[in-house]
Amino acid sequence: MTSARSRSTPKHAYRNYYRCHGRSDKGAEACPRVKGERADVIEAFAWNFVRDLLLDPDQLRADLDAAIELEREHGTHGDPERERKAWLDKIAEADRQRSRAQDFAVEGLLNHNELRAKLAALDETRETARRELALLEGRREKIAELEADRDALLDHLESVAPDKLDALTPEERHEVYKVLGLQVIAREDGNHEASIAHKKTPGVCNTAVVCACCL
């Protein structure tokens, strides 16, 4: 869902809510929910869920550590550093073969078409390796960011008394939601469910999701 607002007449104040944009873009079959979700109801539900997490920092650390570990395992095939070295070795080997192929061409052992095909294959290998290295680096940077966010959040909680949590500004709450990877789900039966990054709720229509970026 995405945020929206409306008012019944020009004299009335705007009312904030969330609506399924898939319904208006793709038709009623894309999302069975007709009514929007009132923003104040969703946000109160989300904050109560997150507040309970913040009041148990030990469990919160365990949850965040689990989310980071899942991210570390996502898209990798074992040790990321070993994987990185393997791709660097492929690039180095492709460079060696490229030089060898050019030497063969100079010696007349490869004709022009054979050289061109060989170099094209080696260039494709190099490009694949570079893409994979970029993905590995992106995951490494994301994990480092998640770890920094976790530490910053937990350090901040140590300085905030439990009764002061409700005094957090909307911007501060929003930052907490992003760190946690908060997701709120509006079910077809009118109930709501909340989860953080590593705890996914199965069997839910994805068109009825309010992401942390909207809260």
Q: Is the pTM of this model over 0.75?
A: no
- Dist CA 43 CA 192 (whole Å): 11
Between CA 38 and CA 136 the distance in angstroms is 41
Structure confidence by residue, pLDDT tens digits, 108-138: 888 989 999 999 999 999 999 999 999 989 8
What is the per-residue pLDDT across 17-75, written as a single tens digit (0 to 9) for each?
Answer: 887 777 667 776 767 665 678 888 888 888 999 888 888 888 888 888 888 888 787 76
Residue 122 tokens, joined: 């080696």
